[in-house]
Structure 1
Amino acid sequence: MELNFFCPRWGTEHIKLNEFFKQAKLQGYDGIEYAIPGDLPISMIDEIFNLAAKEDLLLIVQHYDTNETDYHKHGDIYNSWLWKMKDYKPLKINSQTGKDFFTFRENASLINAARKFSQDTGIKVYHETHRNKFSFAAHITKEYLLNIPDLQITLDASHWVCVAESFLENQQDAMQLAIERTEHIHARVGYEEGPQVPDPRVPEWQHALNVHLSWWDKVAERKRREGADAMLTITPEFGPFPYMVSMPFTQQPITNQWEVNAYMMQILRERYCSGFQHHDIQGKKI
């Protein structure tokens, strides 16, 4: 199994683009995950891909900002965004697809559009489990996975934990099906009341971290069984405010986003580059 980690651009927009790519490379990331809005100029997209090539970094592009509420207009915008990526050949596309209020048929049509794009271009599109999208909850996504056999996802279970106000103890079937269809991971840790714990390094959030580790471990084990040609991609994706708590009045972040994501990369690289069993972060078997 090949293991690659991606640095999110989200939260570092204050850093000049060329400096961001250099810092990500120095930190030890294998690539960048870059959210590309629909109105981003072609010249800027060119610069992103050119810098990735210059720094020898892989690139996953993220679709996130198709928010048109009229389904037909939404579909046109989504298709336009996808086909804009055709000539760039990113490693993968991570797509926040559809809307939570679209019908099953409407969201399925968008998933089908992504499938056709992949068939025609060879660029794989994986659909992120995300609030506000078709995949906003575990039990809802389960129905799409059951009815669309080739649907593959980016697993960001932090959203599902938040939506369900639980660690999904009563939705084991949905989680297992999601794990079987996961091709990319967003390694952010959620809890019952939010999509991001304040800091995964501190003792009070170890239970939440260990629950997420148990899910990611199962994805890694599955990819390892697929053999040497399999690739597991992970983006540590702790984000800035309002995902990250800020201190009252000062608006200073409660912790350092870059350091937290680097920490997540470190523990997961150590965990998956060597033989591993289901152990929590303190080494207890789970």
Structure 2
Amino acid sequence: MEIKFFIPRWGNRHLSWADFAVKAKGAGYAGVEANLPMLQEEQTEMFDELKKNGLTWIGQHFETAASNFEDYFPEYETRLNALAAAKPILINTQTGKDYFTFEENSKLIELAAEISAATGVTILHETHRGKFSFCAAYTAQFLKKYPDLRITADFSHWCCVSESFLQDQKESLDLAISRSDHFHARVGFPGGPQVNNPAAPEWKEALDFHCEWWDAIVKRHVGLKTPVLTVTCEFGPYPYMPQFPFSKDDVSDLWEANLFMKDFLEERYRGW
């Protein structure tokens, strides 16, 4: 099985698409994870630069922000259809709200499944604070209701929400791992969704817990003979990246944090 590593556009928007694509290619990434730009001019620039550098694209949805379900549903439908029409290798979506009812979030999951079936584009739902998948136990209810529901595993969010390394939620975690077809390599901890530097020895315990979960995802796909597994190294900018007071300088270099994750996991999974 081949594991392909992606870099997010998030945190790199200070770079033009031309510079970002060249930098991503040079660092050894297979592609980028990014939302679909609103302006046609930027879409053209993005796709041209990705193609020029031999990079593939994971479509990311996070923009739907309507606070009530009646407005959220059509906006979500429009955005997913637009992403699917642009033909990414898959769509990673942050879906719903943690305060929508179970039935409302279910309707959004069903809508995404309909769009995926109609367009042939895989749609995965990211485990994410503030969304239907904000914690392990609640997400498990949806996974049990929908046997075909597939997710992007970003368990850093669940560490933050539960204020733990999920030691007491093995059943829900194992279920989530069994449905994970893509994961975000970001290390969270009981106090937040992102450690300040994954290479720092003081965060070894946090990294080890995440590696245990990621290893389980990789082993499962090796067993399934999945041809390609995608991973996005998704350390992000402030407020995910802590800053020093007064100067507001980042505590760590964001690009280097993601590059550490890629190199670390490439070496870890070499030969799997």
Give the TM-score range, shorter chain. Answer: over 0.9
Output the CA distance in 2 between the equivalents of 1:203 and 1:246.
19
Contact between 2:36 and 2:83, CA under 8 Å: does it hold in 1?
no
Task: State yes or no: 1:271 paired with 2:268.
Answer: yes
1:44-83 matches, within 5 Å, as 44-83=42-81
Offset of residue 86 of structure 1: 3.2
Deviations 1:21-45 (A, max 9, x none): 00000000000001336xx123322
Q: In structure 1, the residue corresponding to 2:63 is in which secondary structure?
A: coil
Amino acid paired to 1:18: A
The one-character-per-residue Cα deviations of 1:8-62 (angstroms, maximum 9, x if unpaired) are 111111111110000000000000001336xx12332232222211211110011
Aligned counterparts of 1:90 and 1:159: Cα–Cα separation in 2: 25
The structural deviation recorded for 1:119 is: 0.5
For 2:8 and 2:195, locate their aligned partners in 1 and report how far apart those are by CA, in whole Å.
Answer: 18
Aligned residue among 203, 206, 209 for 1:205: 203
Alignment of 1:1-286 (within 5 A): 1-36=1-36, 40-227=38-225, 229-275=226-272
- Structure 1: which 5+ runs fail to align? 276-286
Q: Distance in 1 between the 2:131 and 2:36 partners?
A: 17
- Residues paired across the two proteins, number: 272
Q: Which runs of 5+ in 2 are unaligned?
A: none
State the distance in 2 between where 1:69 and 1:247 align. Answer: 33
Superposition TM-score, scaled by structure 1 size: 0.93
Select between 177-186 and 230-239 the one with higher mean Cα deviation.
230-239
Letter in 1 for 2:175: L
Amino acid at match of 1:30: A
Any idea what the Cα deviations from partners look like across 1:146-184, whole Å, max 9, x if unmatched?
111110000000000000000011000011000000011
**Which amino acid is the alignment partner of residue 22 of structure 2?**
K
CA distance in 1 between counterparts of 2:166 and 2:152 reads: 18
Deviations 1:50-101 (A, max 9, x none): 2211211110011001110121210100000111123321001000000001
What one-letter code is carried by the residue in structure 2 that aligns with 1:266? D
* Segments ≥4 residues shifted beyond 3 Å: none
CA contact (8 A) 1:5 1:31 kept: yes
Amino acid at match of 1:239: G
RMSD across aligned positions (CA): 1.1
**Could you tell me how far apart the structure 1 residues matched to 2:45 and 2:115 are?**
23
Give aligned-pair identity as a percent.
Answer: 44
